């Protein structure tokens, strides 16, 4: 394998670096796919992409070990099925690359208590998991910053709810650079214009979530065609009948228009024109059929990948070795500037 400096040079050439990660905390939703994974696919040719399963972040909430391992392997296989190419990108399991935790501890020491205490997600999760408000839950934004800064990342695809973490990452990098000189690349947040936030089918004022206990609120990527059709037919809309996108109004039909437009690669206006004069019932069936058609090949490929654990191990091992090679260069630079004996 090339030395880390040469690998980093080759990885960086002529293209901006994008880093994105997802937690293996359970089944992937349609919202996960349209809000993040679909845009990952679209970036693979334009950018140098780094994708990770953020299993270290997942353990801020207690996990059943057997289910955790199963979820991680299945999500790796599902992301391959969704089109992530492990030979074109860096794609690895976070806990397999020790530089992430090493840099996270260092960045902890350059992150202020007040900054972490103001993080909205910490406040939200502290309420949700009041019996387990652990130190990792409090300081995980420093690990998130390490994930990003290790690879001289230029762009990070994020939803609106992650912008605060990106601001903190930039603050930490600027603080370190201000003390020790130019060390970290300052990353920019990239928010997809369409499909960045898919809402619940039953409560369109809330984000689609696999933890939602309301029946038919969430579409999972491995749902059967019948289940998907049923969920969309029961989707909440309103008393109007026009298929028109109105910001801050008609949240139910807005959500369905957003889903259809994103799945089909159309603008909101194109979707409105296509269904001009048609009713909600017709539109709901069309949305369901579009989603079913998109997920059918993904489900088939997933079954192929998950039945070949040897192939999966080969790919996530290769990804981890390549990620370690690149990230070690950044970590070495950081340690030298701080004054560690290497």
Q: Looking at the annotation, which residues are catalytic?
A: 125, 207, 210
Angle at 119 between CA 115 and CA 121, to 5 degrees: 160
Question: Which DSSP letter does residue 157 get?
Answer: E
**Size of the chain in residues:** 342
Determine the angle formed by the axes of helices 309-338 and 280-306, rounding to 10 degrees.
Answer: 90
Label residue 181 exposed, middle or buried (CB < 10 Å: 0-12, 13-18, 19+).
exposed
Return all residues near 332 (Cβ < 8 A) that are at least 6 apart: 4, 342
Label residue 253 exposed, middle or buried (CB < 10 Å: 0-12, 13-18, 19+).
buried
How far is it, in rounded angstroms, from Cα 183 to Cα 193?
31
């Amino acid at each position: 394998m090339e030395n880390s400096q040469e690998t980093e040079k080759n990885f960086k050439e002529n293209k901006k670096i994008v880093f994105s990660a997802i937690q293996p905390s359970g089944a992937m939703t349609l919202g996960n796919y349209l809000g993040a994974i679909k845009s990952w696919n679209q970036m693979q040719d334009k950018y140098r992409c780094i994708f990770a399963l953020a299993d270290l972040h997942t353990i801020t909430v207690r996990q059943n070990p057997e289910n955790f391992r199963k979820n991680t392997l299945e999500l790796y296989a599902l992301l391959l099925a969704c089109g992530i190419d492990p030979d074109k990108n860096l794609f690895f399991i976070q806990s397999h690359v020790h530089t992430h935790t090493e840099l996270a501890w260092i960045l902890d020491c350059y992150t202020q208590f007040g900054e972490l205490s103001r993080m909205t997600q910490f406040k939200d999760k502290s309420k949700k998991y009041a019996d387990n408000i652990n130190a990792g839950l409090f300081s995980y934004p420093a690990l998130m910053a390490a994930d990003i800064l290790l690879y001289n990342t230029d762009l990070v695809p994020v939803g609106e709810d992650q912008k605060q973490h990106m601001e903190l990452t930039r603050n930490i990098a600027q603080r370190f650079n201000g003390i020790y000189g130019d060390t970290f690349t300052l990353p920019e947040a990239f928010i997809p214009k369409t499909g960045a936030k898919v809402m619940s089918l039953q409560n369109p004022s809330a984000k689609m979530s696999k933890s939602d206990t309301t029946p038919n609120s969430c579409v999972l990527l491995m749902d059967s065609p019948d289940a998907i059709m049923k969920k969309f037919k029961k989707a909440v809309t309103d008393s109007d009948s026009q298929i028109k996108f109105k910001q801050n109004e008609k949240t139910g039909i807005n959500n369905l228009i957003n889903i259809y437009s994103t799945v089909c690669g159309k603008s909101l206006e194109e979707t409105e024109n296509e269904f001009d004069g048609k009713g909600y019932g017709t539109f709901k069936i069309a949305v369901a059929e579009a989603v079913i058609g998109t997920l059918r090949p993904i489900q088939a490929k997933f079954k192929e990948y998950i039945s070949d654990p040897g192939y999966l191990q080969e790919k996530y091992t290769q990804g981890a070795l390549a990620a370690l090679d690149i990230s070690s260069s950044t970590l070495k630079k950081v340690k030298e500037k701080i004054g560690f004996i290497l």
